Amino acid sequence: MLRSDGGVYMKKISLSDVEKKPVTMEGARGAFKQVPISKNDGSPIFSLRVFTLEAGGNTPYHQHPYEHLNYIIAGEGVVVDERGNESVVKEGDFVLVLPDEKHQYRNTAKDESLIFICGVPKEHE
């Protein structure tokens, strides 16, 4: 939001007020994305997205030329690296996915969602 002097106001928003959209990339299953802070809000460097993976859901196994900064808000699952290795992730964990590193998140739970924040450079939102 722009101020009259061209500056940007601080933004505060509850995640419950952010539209949740299905992830439509090929290979995604039971995955939803919310974007509470982005370049559209005047963010100078990063966009923050929140992904929710339903029980048994996953992101696509993919790569791209920019880093991800991830924080697990709730649930438990695995992150798969480019060698196919799986590492358990749970609430409170941080994950750095480097540029061009193939990766995938999977929710291994039978009855709860895996929810994580994903920070990326704003140009790639």
pLDDT tens per residue across span 13-39: 999 999 999 999 999 999 999 999 999
* C-alpha–C-alpha distance, residues 91 and 83, integer Å: 24
Residue 39 dihedral angles phi and psi, to the nearest 5°: -60, -25
* C-alpha–C-alpha distance, residues 98 and 120, integer Å: 11
Contact between 113 and 31 under an 8 Å Cβ cutoff? The reply is no
Mean pLDDT of the chain: 92
Topology of the domain comprising 25-124: Jelly Rolls (2.60.120)
Checking if the pLDDT of 103 tops 70, the result is yes
Q: Is the pTM of this model over 0.85?
A: yes
- 73: CB partners within 8 A, 6+ apart: 50, 91, 115, 116, 117
Amino acid at 34: Q
CA 37 to chain centre: 12
* C-alpha–C-alpha distance, residues 42 and 2, integer Å: 8
40-88 confidence digits (pLDDT tens): 988 889 999 999 999 999 999 999 999 999 999 999 999 999 999 999 9
